[in-house]
Structure 1
Amino acid sequence: MAKNNKEKKMIKVVYFDEQSASDYIDIVNGGHLDWSTEKDKEKLAKIIAEIDAEIGGGFNFLSWVKASISGKTNSSYDHETKTAIGTKITNTLLTDYLVIANADKNIKKFTDVAYAPDNSISLYKMYSPYSIIVPKEEAPIDLEKLNEALESARGYYEMLLSSENSPKTVLRLNNRAFRNNYNLSDLTKMKLVYYGICVGVCDISKLDMSKEFDFSKKTPTAEEIVSGNDDISNSGLKVYDIVLAGVER
């Protein structure tokens, strides 16, 4: 068992949707963590000890919370402490998610290189930063306005798996969940482990930007896909919302 845990250790995090992970852990635990239990008291004590070791000065969590509420904290100390707390809580969340997700048969893992579908919004998003070099008079549409529209109206982007000669899986990623300045285009150069959950299905033609808003076909639910009761599960692509992606040892 120890060997398996070692093999599954995440050694490089590229993408982590913290809110989705937090919601998932809350659901599994039947609600928010209960800091009155011994297990969670130990977890909180460890976080506080690590913060104290980093910033020094005899850190007192409750005193800091009271000072923050009253607005009496030193600005530089306040920023440093908030950063340290945020980092430690994120690391704890990541560790908890890995432990629970690796034991949950409903969490699907993919190890692959991802790429954007042809003529998709995801493909455009990857190359949109370079659109500024295209003269406005030569562009078929206002590229600047399109970029603004994507930023305000589209938070998730679809990618396909390179190992599937005939695509049957869609990975959907939250554009705000990338870590360490990674982005969509970086996924095409790295073989990562993706943790995702099936949320539905789509026809591959719907990934084409020109057919993005064609709702003529009924979309089956995730429950229908998992149970195999839908009529197009064999021809459609299963869609997985990705919570975590990185390099595992």
Structure 2
Amino acid sequence: MTGGVAFKKLVYFDEQAALDILEMFDNGSTTEMIKTVTEKIAKASVSADAKVGVGILQSFKLRLSGNAKAGITNLVESQVKSTILSNFLTKYADHKSEFGLTDVKSINLTLTESSAAYFRTLGRYMKMVKNFEGIDADITPEEIKSLKSVDFSDFDVVMDEATGYYQFIGEDLENNTKAIYRFNFEGIRNNYKLTDLTLMNLRVIGVKVGQVESLNIDLGDDVLIKTSDEEYGGQDIFDEQEDKLKNGDVKYDVIDVLISGVI
């Protein structure tokens, strides 16, 4: 139990997004608290000419002059993240209605094999392949040629820059409703892969940022932001059509996730 919100294990936390919400909610008191924390650590740990950069509140990186050690940077970054986390959970528990966030107590996340998150994870393993001809799989010469033309060395960096957020189809197990949930890769904790999230029983707290007419999270539609409904195969299209038959035209919420953990 942390600040009134129970997680067995924290899996994801978007510190910057949470800080932005706290800034609007408490008129900057969290920022002042972070400044106090960083100044105390700096004074206690380094020479008098050390300076804490303004960027600490945006990038969580400490820039010190003089003979400061990297360990102090890590200490401050850790303390800043801890401060934001504890403040966010405590204030959210005390002021849920005022925060106006979407809180799904039990969710099942799924991906398609053409989604950005799936390719992001696959790209990490493709870096290990030196000879595509040696792969024991049903791959055509044309597909091998295409794979050779891709530079996988910076694949994850390019994906992060291109997509920003990685989308999942999420089903609220309590209300049997579906939505698209978006995760910032930088917020993933404990060295998990994006695909690991589909194996967990999670609680998700996030911000509803809009609605879409389709559960299509394929990479092409994700990056190019197509608005028309297109067939994309799998169980998801069956479920989507079933929803439309039952309820008429439906729209699906898009939720930017702030925090998530195993329940």
Tell me, yes or no, whether TM beats 0.5: yes
Once the two structures are TM-superposed, the CA of residue 90 in structure 1 deviates from its matched residue by 1.0
CA distance in 1, matches of 2:2, 2:45: 35
Once the two structures are TM-superposed, the CA of residue 24 in structure 1 deviates from its matched residue by 0.7
Three-state SS of the structure 2 residue aligned to 1:238 is strand
The answer (yes or no) to whether the contact 2:172–2:178 under 8 Å persists in 1 is no
The answer (yes or no) to whether the contact 2:30–2:84 under 8 Å persists in 1 is no
Match of 1:104 in 2: 96
- Deviation sequence 1:10-69 (CA, Å, 0-9, x none): 44221111110111100101235474xxxx59x947994xx6xxxxxxx73597573247
Q: Does 1:186 align with 2:181?
A: no
CA distance in 1, matches of 2:7, 2:77: 19
Structure 2: which 5+ residue stretches go unaligned?
53-62, 134-140, 229-246
Identity of aligned pairs, percent? 21
Q: Does 1:18 align with 2:15?
A: yes
Once the two structures are TM-superposed, the CA of residue 152 in structure 1 deviates from its matched residue by 2.9
Question: Normalised by the size of structure 1, how large is the TM-score?
Answer: 0.69
CA distance in 1, matches of 2:197, 2:92: 22
Three-state SS of the structure 1 residue aligned to 2:167 is strand
Q: How does 1:1-249 map to 2 (within 5 A)?
A: 8-31=5-28, 33=30, 35=32, 40=33, 44=36, 48=40, 60-61=43-44, 66-68=49-51, 73-76=66-69, 79-102=70-93, 103-105=95-97, 106-110=100-104, 111-132=106-127, 133=129, 135=132, 137=141, 138-139=143-144, 140=146, 142-144=149-151, 147=155, 149-162=158-171, 168-204=178-214, 206-212=216-222, 213=224, 215-216=226-227, 235-248=250-263
Cα 1:114–1:47 shift into 2, 3 Å: farther
Q: State how many pairs are aligned.
A: 216
Three-state SS of the structure 1 residue aligned to 2:103 is strand
CA distance in 1, matches of 2:185, 2:87: 23
Structure 1: which 5+ residue stretches go unaligned?
52-58, 218-231
- Amino acid of the structure 2 residue aligned with 1:144: D
Question: Normalised by the size of structure 2, how large is the TM-score?
Answer: 0.66
Aligned-pair RMSD on alpha carbons? Answer: 3.9
Once the two structures are TM-superposed, the CA of residue 234 in structure 1 deviates from its matched residue by 5.5
Cα 1:34–1:121 shift into 2, 3 Å: closer
Cα 1:211–1:152 shift into 2, 3 Å: closer
CA distance in 2, matches of 1:180, 1:5: 18
CA distance in 1, matches of 2:203, 2:66: 41
CA distance in 1, matches of 2:38, 2:262: 26
The answer (yes or no) to whether the contact 2:12–2:189 under 8 Å persists in 1 is yes
- Deviation sequence 1:160-185 (CA, Å, 0-9, x none): 22556986211100011112211201
The answer (yes or no) to whether the contact 1:26–1:32 under 8 Å persists in 2 is yes
